[in-house]
Structure 1
C-alpha cells in the first residue's frame, strides 16, 4: 500500500509529501519514546513495502512464463495429436497388417489389417496387450491351420522362442488354403514391429510351378532312363516298382505287361528263369533279403549269367528308403577280357622267354664287361711297363745330354710318353668307374689337402701357356674320397688350362647351404649351350684341331662319372667368348684347423745325399729294370738287380749284405708279390726302407702299403718322386 496515490498530479503528490515531511520532522523534534517506536515501525513498513513490490514483480514474471509454457504445451499437444493421427493414417494405408510393441512387449498401436484373418482377435487388439497374450490368442484361433503333429501349446512355445531372435520371418497356413507371411523387426529403442503379409497368391503360384516342374522333371527322367544303355528300375521303401525303362525288360527278359506301377520286387525276381546264375557271392535269397531290408541299404554289385549273356547288376539305396537297380550288358567286355587274359598268358610266356634270353645276354655282357675291365687293367699294366722304361731311359739321356737339339728331341719324346701315360690313366679310370665292384674311401678331410698340391702341380702347366693360375685356399672340411675328388678337380683345372688361350684360371670354394661348391673359372673360348651336354661324352672334344697329346676327351667324362658315383652334383656355366665355370658340390663336414707352414723341402733331389746307397731292385720286366738301374746309378746309387722274389732272396743270401733301400715291383709273377717279398726280407734282415712300384691303383694296395708303412710309386715311374724317396731315405740314414 503506497502513501501517495499514483493517480494524483505531481503537484498534489509534492504537496502531500511536504505535509508528511513536516509531520515527521515535528515528531522527531517534539516526540517522545512512543514516537520513536512509531518511526521504527514506519521504517519496517517501508522495507516491507519494497520487498512486497519485488515479490509482486517476480510473481508477475512467473505468471507470464506459466502462460507461455501452457501455450507451448497446448501447441505441442496439438502437434502430437496431429502426428498420431498422421501415423495412424499412414499405417492404415499400408497394405500389410502392422502392429507396434514397446520394449516391454506391450501393444502400442496397430492398423485394421493386423490379424484381420483371425476373427476372434479383434476384441483383444487394444493398446497394452502383451505379446504372449497376442500369440496365445493366435494359437487358439480357429482360423490357424496347425500341422498334424503340432498342438496349440507347442506352436505357441515355438513362436515365443522365435520372438527372441533379432530378425524373424516365417509362413503361417490358414484355413481355406490361405497363407500369411509374418516378419518381426526390432526398433532402435528395443520395441518390435510385426508385419503380416498375405502371400496366398504367391504360394499357390509356387505350388503350381512346382507341380509343373515336377511333371516336366518326370518327363525328363523318363526320357533319360529310356535313353540309357543300361536297364534301370526304381523301387520305393516297400520294394514296389515306381519307375523303369524299356531296356530292363529286354535285358531281364521280363514281359512289359509285368512292369507296372506297384509291382513287387519279389514277384519280378521270381520271373527270372532258373538258368540265371549269380556270381561274386550273391544268390537269389541274398538279393531278396537286401531288397526287403528296412533302413539304409549298402551298395551291392554282382554279375548274373544266362545263356550267352553276362549282366552286371548294381544296386544302391535312396534317401527315402527306396532303392535303384541298374543292369548292364557286359558280355562283350567279358569276352574281350577273356581274350585279353588268354593273350596275356601268351605274352607272359613270351616275356618269360625273352627275359631268360635277356638274362643270358646280360650275363654274357657282364662277363664281357668284366673281361674288358680285366683286359684294360692288364693291358694298361703291360703298356705302363715299357712306358716307364722309356721315360726313365729318356730321363737318363736328358741328364747326360749337352746338345740343345738332342735335349729338345728328348723333351718332345718325354712329352709324347707323358701324353700316352695320361691316356692310359684315363682309360683305367673309366674302366674302374664303370665297374660295379668299385668302392670309395669316404672320409672327412680338409679341402686344402687337395688344393695345395694341385697349386704346386698345375701352376707349372699354366705358366708354360702364359696363363695365371689362382687357387684360393679354403678352411672347410668335406666328406668325400680325397683321391677321386683330387682327380676331379685336377681334370677340371687341366681342362680349363687346355681351352684357355690367354687370361687366367681361378679356383675357389663357396658355401652352398650344407655343401661346399668347388668352382673352376676360366677366361677361355667358352662352350656353346647346345654343346654343354656333349662335352661329358667319351672322346668328345670341341677343338677338333687339338693333338692327341692334349688328351682324347676323357677328362670330363671321368669327372662326370666320378661325380655321379660319389653323389656330388656337377654343374657348368659358359658363355662363348667370355669363358666357363665348372662347379662340384661336396658335403661340408665342418671347419679345418689352421694350416701349418710347410717345411722347406727341395723341389728336386740332391744327388750327393744319395751317394753310397745300396738299393735292391726287383723287377720282372728287363727293360724297366735296366732303365731304373741306369737312372739310379747316375745319381751315385749302387743297384743290386733281381728278376723275381726267389732270385732276390738267393742273391741276398749269397752276398751276405743288407741293402739300404728296397725297390720292389708289386706283380713279380707267380709265387710271391712285392709286399710279400718285403715281409720276407724284413723278417730276416729287419726293417728296411721300401718302395713298391706298381701300375695297380686299387685302394686295397694303397691300404696295404699304408699298413706296412712303405711308399707306393705308381707306374709309369716319376723320376722326381723316385729321387725324392731315395733322397729322404739317405738323409734319414745319415741322421
Structure 2
C-alpha cells in the first residue's frame, strides 16, 4: 500500500483532477490504517499528521495552478484581440492601397514584395501574374524588362534596361518615365521608407505626354518661323547642317557673301558639295578643305573651330563652326574685311611707332644708365664721406665732452656745451643724408623684428624732454603696451623726426605722443599745437630740403626729416598720414602690424653711486682703434671717468701689448675696421677664448643689418659712431659689476 502511495506522489505530470483523486485515496487509506492499528507507539498518528500536511501542500499547489490558468486564459484573450485588430488594420491598409488611383507596391528592407494593389503593373498584363508575396525586387525588374508591352529604344536591350533600372533603385528617391507600346507612358517614382523598405508608385501619364508633344510641335513650328526671320535679319551668312552633314537651313546673306548659285543652296545638299564650290575661290589661313571635311564627318563630338578665308577681291570672312545638341552643326560667315584693313593699317602704324619708340628707348636707356651711374657714384660718395666725417666728428665730440666734464671755468664749459650741440646738429645732418642716400638707392636693408612700443616711447621721451622743457613746451608721452613688427632703427628715426618737427615748430602749448590699438595694428600719433600746415603745403613738406619756416637756421636741419619719414614708412609698409588746421596744430600718424613681443623691461638709470663705483673701480680697458685722434679722445674720456686705458692701433699691436703686460683687460673696445684683413670681431673671439665672459663692444660707423647680425652671432653689442658718451659710460659701469673686479 505504501508503494502505491509513493507511485501516486512522485508523478507530478498527471492532470490536476488525477492528482486530487490520488490524494483522496491516500487520505482514505491512511484513515483506515489509523483506525485499524492499535500499536501504542503512535506511528499511526504520525502517519496521519504527514497525510494532513501533504493535503495542505496539494491545496496550495492547486491554487497556484488555478491562478496560472487564469493568467494563461487572459493572455490568450489579449492575443486573440491583437490578432483580430492586426487583421482589421491590414484589411484597412489593403482597402486604402486599393483606393489609391496609382499603382502601388511595397517592398521590405530585404527587397521582398510585401503588398500591392490591383493597379500596380496593370498596363503590363504579362507581369501581373508573376506578382506574389516575397517576390524579390530583381525578379520583378527582370519580369518588366522582358514584358512585351515595354517599348525600349533600338540601342537598349532588356538586360541593359534592367541593369540601369537596378542602378536607379539604389537612390533614396527616383522618378523616371517608361515608354509602353501603343504610345503609352508610365511615370515610376521610388521612395525609401524609414525602415529601409521601398514604395513604388506608377502613374499613367500618357495624356500629359501626348499633350506636351503637341505643344512642343506647335512651339517648334513657331520657333522655326522665328528662326527663319532671325536668320534673314542677321548681318552674317549662316548655314545649318544635320548630323549627316546635309544642309537643312540657311539665310539669303550666305549666298551674297559666298557668291553661290541658287541651285547650290538647296535643302539636303551635301556639305562636301559646298566645299568644292568654295575651295577654288577662297584661301584659308589655318584650315584646309580636307581638315574641314574631316571635322564635319567625324563620329564623335566636334570641337568649335574658327578660321578666316580670303578672296582675291580683298574680301576677308571670319568662319565659325559649332556642333548642336542633335549632332548637327552651324557654320557662320562674318565679313571682317574693313576690320582687317584697319588692323593692317594699324599694324603698319604700330611698326612705325615701335621703331620710333625703340629709338627713343635706346636714348632713354643711355640716359638712365648715365643717371644710375651718377646716382651710384653719389650714394658711394655720400656713404664714404659720411663714414670719413663721422670718424673725426666722433673724436671731436669726445674731446669736447672731456672739456665739458672737466674742471674748467664756466665760460669754457658753456663754450664746450655749445660746441657739442653744434656737433650733434652736424651728426644729425650727416645721418639724415646717409639715410636719404640709402632709401633712394634701395640699399637700406631692413631688419624686421618685434619692437616694444612702451620702451621705444619711453626712450624718446627721455631724449626730447630736455629740449621741450627748454622751449617751455609740455611734452606728454602716453604709455602704451604691445609690440609691432618693424625695423627698430628706422622706426625710432621716424618717430624722432616727427617729434623733433613738432617741438621745433611749436612755440607754445604742448606736444602729445602716443599709440593706440586698431584691430591687428598699432597706430602711432604725434600731435602739436603749432601753427599748422595749409592743405596746399601738406604734400610739399615731404620733399627733400623743403622747410615751410624759411627763418630756420641750418643748425635746425636741412628739411630732410619728413622726406626720410615718408621713404622709411613706404619701405616698412607703415601707412603714413597727416591732418592739420591752420592756427590750431598738426597731427602726423602711421600704423604698424601688431605682434607678440618680448616682455618689457624698465630702462636702467645711472645713480651717483654708480658713477662713483666706476671712478673707484680701477677698470682696465683695452682700446683698439686705428684712428689715432679718436683713440686718444676715447682714452682721455675713459681715464677721466676713472678707468685705465691700454690703447692699440691694430690687432697685432694689441696682442703684443697684452703679451708684454701678461694680463687680460676688464673690458674691450674694438673698432670693426682695423686695416686691411683685420677686424675687431676676430679680436673679440680670440680674447673670449681665454675669458668667455669678457665684456666687449664693437665700434663702427657701419649701420648695416649684416654687421648687426654678425655682432649678434658673436654675442657682442654694436656701438655706432659717433660714440654716444652715455652708452659708453653704461658699458663701462656694467663691466665693473663682474665678480672678478674688486674696487681698491
Check 1:607–1:557 CA distance in 2 against 1; reply closer, same or farther (3 A cut).
Answer: farther
- Please state if 1:487 is matched with 2:496: no
Q: Distance in 2 between matches of 1:273 and 1:721?
A: 92
Give the gaps of 5 or more residues in structure 2.
1-182, 185-203, 212-220
Contact 1:692 1:713 (C-alpha < 8 Å) held by counterparts: yes
Q: Provide the residue aligned with 2:530 in structure 1.
A: 524
Query: CA separation in 2, counterparts of 1:594 and 1:319?
Result: 73
- Is 1:716 the counterpart of 2:733? The answer is no
1:336-392 CA distance string (max 9 Å, x none): 545666776787788788778877776766665554443322211110112112222
Q: Does 1:673 align with 2:665?
A: no
Give SS of 1:734's match: coil
Shift of 1:498: 1.6
Deviations 1:206-231 (CA, angstroms, capped at 9, x unpaired): xxxx99xx999999987x56xx5x55
CA shift for structure 1 position 463: 1.0
1:676/1:398 CA distance change after superposition, 3 Å: same
Q: Residue 391 in 1 paired to residue 404 in 2?
A: no
- Give how far 1:574 is off: 2.0
Contact 1:521 1:581 in 2 (8 A): yes
CA separation of 1:346/1:603 partners in 2, compared to 1, >3 Å: closer, same or farther?
farther
Instruction: Tell me what 2:578 maps to.
Output: 572
TM superposition score normalised by structure 2 = 0.59
> Are residue 276 (structure 1) and residue 282 (structure 2) matched?
yes
Contact 2:231 2:238 in 1 (8 A): no
- Whether the 8 Å contact between 2:404 and 2:416 is mirrored in structure 1 is yes
2:310 is aligned to 305
Determine the C-alpha separation between the residues in 1 that align with 2:324 and 2:646: 104
1:63-112 deviation per Cα after TM superposition (whole angstroms, max 9, x unaligned): xxxxxxxxxxxxxxxxxxxxxxxxxxxxxxxxxxxxxxxxxxxxxxxxxx
Cα distance change, pair 602–569 in 1 and its aligned pair in 2 (3 A): farther
Tell me, in whole angstroms, the C-alpha distance in 1 between the residues paired with 2:522 and 2:280. Answer: 79
| Contact persistence 1:609–1:730 (CA under 8 A) | no
Counterpart-to-counterpart distance in 2, 1:506 and 1:406: 36
1:642 touches 1:648 (CA, 8 Å); kept in 2?
yes
Q: Deviations over 1:181-216 (max 9, x none)?
A: xxxxxxxxxxxxxxxxxxxxxxxxxxxxx99xx999
Question: How far off its partner does 1:552 sit?
Answer: 1.7
Matching residue within 549, 552, 567 for 1:546? 552
CA separation of 1:399 and 1:303: change in aligned 2, threshold 3 A: closer
On the 8 A contact 2:688/2:694 being kept in 1, the answer is: yes
Partner-residue secondary structure (3-state), 1:378: helix
Contact 1:625–1:641 at 8 Å: present in 2 too? yes
Distance in 2 between residues matched to 1:378 and 1:484, nearest whole Å: 21
Separation of aligned partners in 2, 1:592 and 1:660: 30
Distance of aligned partners of 1:490 and 1:239 in 2 relative to their CA distance in 1, 3 Å threshold: same
2:625 corresponds to: 619
Q: Residue in 2 aligned with 1:6?
A: none
Contact 2:614–2:732 (Cα < 8 Å) also in 1 = no
For residue 97 of structure 1, what is the aligned residue in structure 2?
none
Aligned residue number for residue 650 of structure 2: 644
Look up the SS of the partner of 1:281 in the other structure. Answer: coil
For the residue of structure 2 that corresponds to 1:490, the secondary structure is: helix
Following TM superposition, by how much is the alpha carbon of 1:508 offset from its aligned partner in structure 2, in angstroms?
1.8
Alpha-carbon distance change, 392 to 581 in structure 1, aligned in 2, over 3 angstroms: same
Partner of 2:432: 426
Shift of 1:512: 0.3
Q: Secondary structure at the match of 2:501?
A: helix
Q: Are the equivalent residues in 2 in contact too, given 1:528–1:576 (CA < 8 A)? A: yes
C-alpha distance in structure 1 between counterparts of 2:507 and 2:348, whole Å: 68
Match for residue 557 of structure 1 among 544, 554, 563: 563
Does structure 1 conserve the Cα–Cα contact (< 8 Å) formed by 2:451 and 2:597?
no
Whole-angstrom CA distance in 2 between matches of 1:296 and 1:690: 81
The 1:680/1:275 distance shift into structure 2, 3 A limit, reads: same
TM-score if structure 1 supplies the norm length?
0.60
Task: Give the direction of change, closer, same or farther, for the CA distance of 1:711–1:312 in structure 2 (3 Å limit).
Answer: closer
Residue 523 of structure 1 and its aligned partner are, at CA, apart by 1.6
Structure 2 Cα separation of the partners of residues 217 and 711 of structure 1: 86
Give the Cα separation in 2 of the matches to 1:443 and 1:673.
27
**How far apart, in 2, do the equivalents of 1:679 and 1:704 lie?**
12
- For the residue of structure 2 that corresponds to 1:663, the secondary structure is strand
Q: Among residues 699, 702, 718, which one is paired with 1:696 in the alignment?
A: 702
Decide which of 455, 470, 473 is 1:467's aligned counterpart.
473
Q: Would the aligned equivalents of 2:498 and 2:526 in 1 still touch at CA under 8 Å?
A: yes
CA distance in structure 1 between the aligned counterparts of 2:465 and 2:382, rounded to whole angstroms: 31
Once residues 305 and 468 of structure 2 are traced to their aligned partners in structure 1, the CA distance between those partners, rounded to angstroms, is 81
Provide the residue aligned with 1:509 in structure 2. 515
Q: Please list the CA deviations of residues 502-537 of structure 1 after superposition, one character each: whole Å capped at 9, or x if unmatched.
A: 111122221101112122222222222232233222
C-alpha separation in 2, matches of 1:510 and 1:684 = 49
1:269 CA drift (Å): 5.9
SS across alignment from 1:485? helix
8 A Cα contact 1:440 1:481, kept in partner:
yes
Q: Secondary structure at the match of 1:572?
A: strand
CA drift of 1:570 comes to 2.3
The answer as to 2:734 corresponding to 1:734 is no
1:479, 1:603 → 2: CA distance?
38
Cα distance, 1:467–1:241 mapped onto 2, change above 3 Å: same
Q: Distance in 2 between matches of 1:479 and 1:658?
A: 41
Q: How many residue pairs were aligned?
A: 537
Contact kept in structure 1, 2:241 and 2:247, CA below 8 Å: yes
1:661 and 1:688 in contact (8 A); partners too? yes
The equivalent residue for 1:583 is 589
- Distance in 2, matches of 1:648 and 1:244, equals 102
Distance in 2 (CA, whole Å) between partners of 1:665 and 1:727 is: 20
RMSD between aligned residues: 5.0
- C-alpha distance in 1 between matches for 2:362 and 2:512: 54
Distance in 2 between residues matched to 1:216 and 1:394, nearest whole Å: 101
Answer whether contact 1:475 1:591 (CA < 8 A) is retained.
no
Q: Equivalent residue of 1:469, what SS?
A: strand
Partners of 1:413 and 1:327 lie apart in 2 by 89
Assess if the C-alpha contact under 8 Å between 1:611 and 1:635 holds in 2. Answer: no
In 1, are the aligned partners of 2:295 and 2:302 still within 8 Å (CA)? Answer: no
CA contact (8 A) 2:516 2:522 kept: yes
Unaligned runs of 5+ residues in structure 1 are 1-152, 155-160, 171-209
Where 2:506 maps in the other structure, the secondary structure is: coil
Give the alignment partner of residue 463 of structure 2, picking from 444, 454, 457.
457
Report deviation, 1:605: 4.0
Tell me the CA shift for residue 423 of structure 1. 1.0
1:663 aligns with 2:669: yes
- Which SS does the other structure have where 2:405 is aligned? helix
- Give, in angstroms, the shift of residue 639 of structure 1: 3.4
Distance 1:715 1:258, change over 3 A: same
